[in-house]
Amino acid sequence: MDKKTLLVAEHIDKRFGSTHAVNDVSLNIAAGEVRALIGENGSGKSTFCQMLCGIYTIGGGKFTLDGQELHIKNQVEANDAGISIIVQEMGTLSGLTVAENIYLGHEDPFVHMGVKDTRAMNREAQKLLDDYGFGRIKAGAMIDRYNFEDRKLVEIVKATYMKPKILVIDETTTALSQNGRLELYKIMDAVRADGRSVIFISHDLGEVLTHSNTVSILRDGEYIDTVNAADVTEDDLKRLMVGREIGSAYYRTDYGTPVSGEVVLSVKGVSVPGEITDVSFDLHRGEILGFGGLSECGMHEVGKAIFGASWDRTGSVTLADGTAVNDIPTAIKHSIAYTSKDRDNESIIINESIRNNVVLPSIDDLANHGLLSGRKLTRFAKEHADQMQTKMQGVSQFVSDLSGGNKQKVVLARWLGKGSDILVLDSPTRGIDVKVKQAIYALMADMQKQGRSIIMISEEIPELLGMADRILVMKDGRINGEFLRDPALSEEDLIAKMV
């Protein structure tokens, strides 16, 4: 494609606290192109666009539109620069009229000597609405009179009447009926025909393929690839979104090893409102049980529910000896360990030393009649941090100084020290380099040999295929499929149950 490049994004970056929402994303968008932006929830596509539109400040890198670097501080400035957005949520303001919403931030042409000429504004707005074919919406009426879909149409008018160079459509179609969608597609086609560009965010891959020229994929904040819509299928896109790990030499190689029939943990009818519904399964001694699914399928909540960390869980989690696990201290006391996907907030205390992190769950075991000895704590922490080969200056070093992989080693060191028999590992290798991954897989295999049981929740399918004896696939908060360890099992088999 030899088209003129309209928008250049270079090394765009954004962090929210410890979450790296957008990680060094660079891409070009040509004039007269509809570029779809896809990725799972939390992949950074909305954040990326909201930086472009001045809703968030740019964390790093720069946008260049038509050869000019953008320095946008808010949405009005973005509009003036030729960028507008139709957002996912309600983007109109209650308590204002339709016309006032359309011209929000751009009232100047209707203001004379500080007085707003409402009649002129309504007249112009009505003209726009009629031109768009939305004549049934009255410019002078309060926006609250209209339903969600009509309000979205008003937003479309608001975002496009000034003929922006870049129109961002952020998951708007989900709110629209078929008719509304057709209106939107028409507008997209018009923008494209006019030599301007659209950034189109959507979860509906069918729609993405039929209405865009090119598709860029983001995953966990990182740019993955850009493909021509004409060259790919929905399955290709799904695979790119969910992610594939290349090379699998470090996984388990055994197949057909029998798993003990002894149940160590029994989960029955567990539900958490809005997260998971009626999840039941048994975990066996020495078993690695994998949980797979898309980010929002509820599998992460399953881990928390087992650990007693969900506030409003129903159903039962019972150990072999009949102990019910309903809160975290009980879980820890009865040999359940948990590592969270949200490592920096839930697994580890960032602003605390390695020593105090490692000893925390074991502190009662280390106390002698309630008394703690500093030397004993240090020795304990050092022993287990060393066992995990944590790279550190010493156990008094703060965890905040460590890399992601080393933080995870500290997390695992604490549960090694506690000697837990049931480990619930949520995304144990997330954001971790290959070497540490290898160490973690080796540790898991070791623990399995010792007869410990592991629940591994993972968004990485190859990891599940490579490590688990059994895989439960979740979708929309329910268990949607069960697979036994088998060399013939493929990613496609699992993906089919996920989406």
Give contact residues for another protein (rule: CB under 8 A). Answer: 307, 309, 328-329, 332-333, 338, 340, 345-353, 356-357, 359-361, 363-364, 367, 370-374, 398, 400, 414
Nearer Cβ to another protein (106/333): 333
Q: Answer whether 306's CB lies under 8 Å from 336's CB.
A: yes
Assigned token pair, 436: 């540490």
CB 301 → another protein: shortest distance, Å? 14
| Least distance from another protein to the Cβ atom of residue 342, Å | 8
Q: Whole-number minimum distance, CB 358 to another protein, in Å? A: 10
To the nearest whole angstrom, how small is the minimum distance from the Cβ of residue 420 to another protein?
Answer: 11
- Which of residues 282 and 346 has its CB atom nearest to another protein in the complex? 346
Compute how many other C-beta atoms are within 10 angstroms of the C-beta atom of residue 158. 23
Alpha-carbon dihedral 96, 80, 187, 58, rounded to 10 degrees:
-100
Q: Closest CB to another protein among 128 and 424?
A: 424
Contact present, 192 and 34 (Cβ < 8 Å): yes
In the bound state with another protein, the residue whose beta carbon lies nearer, of 271 and 357, is: 357
Q: What's the Cα-to-Cα distance from 18 to each of 14, 296, 330, rounded to whole Å?
A: 10, 20, 29
- 3-state DSSP call for residue 477? coil
**Ramachandran class of 488: left when φ > 0, alpha when ψ lies in -120 to 50, beta otherwise:** alpha
**What is the sign of the dihedral through the CA atoms of 169, 170, 176 and 181?**
positive
Nearest to another protein of 90, 324 (CB atom):
324
Strand partners, 219: 222
Report in angstroms how near the CB of residue 417 gets to another protein at its nearest: 12
| In the complex, least distance from residue 265 CB atom to another protein, rounded to whole angstroms | 18
Q: What is the DSSP string of 35-89?
A: EEEE-STTSSHHHHHHHHTTSS---EEEEEETTEE----SHHHHHHHTEEEE-SS
* Environment class of 339 (CB within 10 Å of its CB; exposed 0-12, middle 13-18, buried 19+): buried
Shortest spacing between CB 343 and another protein, in angstroms: 9
The distance of closest approach from Cβ of residue 311 to another protein in the complex, given in angstroms and rounded to an integer, is 11
How remote is the C-alpha of 195 from its chain's centroid?
33
Comparison of 233 and 396: residue with beta carbon closer to another protein: 396
Q: Which is nearer to another protein, 375 or 449 (CB)?
A: 375
221: left (phi over 0), alpha (psi -120 to 50) or beta: left
Least Cβ distance, residue 360 to another protein (angstroms): 4
Q: How far is CA 357 from CA 347, 353, 390, in A?
A: 9, 6, 13
Helix, strand or coil for residue 307?
Answer: coil
Minimum distance, C-beta of residue 49 to another protein, in the bound complex (Å)? 28
Q: Which is nearer to another protein, 191 or 359 (CB)?
A: 359
- Straight-line distance from the first to the last Cα atom of the chain, in angstroms, rounded to the nearest whole number: 33
Q: Nearest CA to 497 among 484, 245, 487, 478?
A: 478
E strand spans, 155-241: 166-170, 197-201, 214-219, 222-228
Nearer to another protein, 126 or 362 (CB): 362
Q: Closer to another protein at the Cβ: 126 or 420?
A: 420
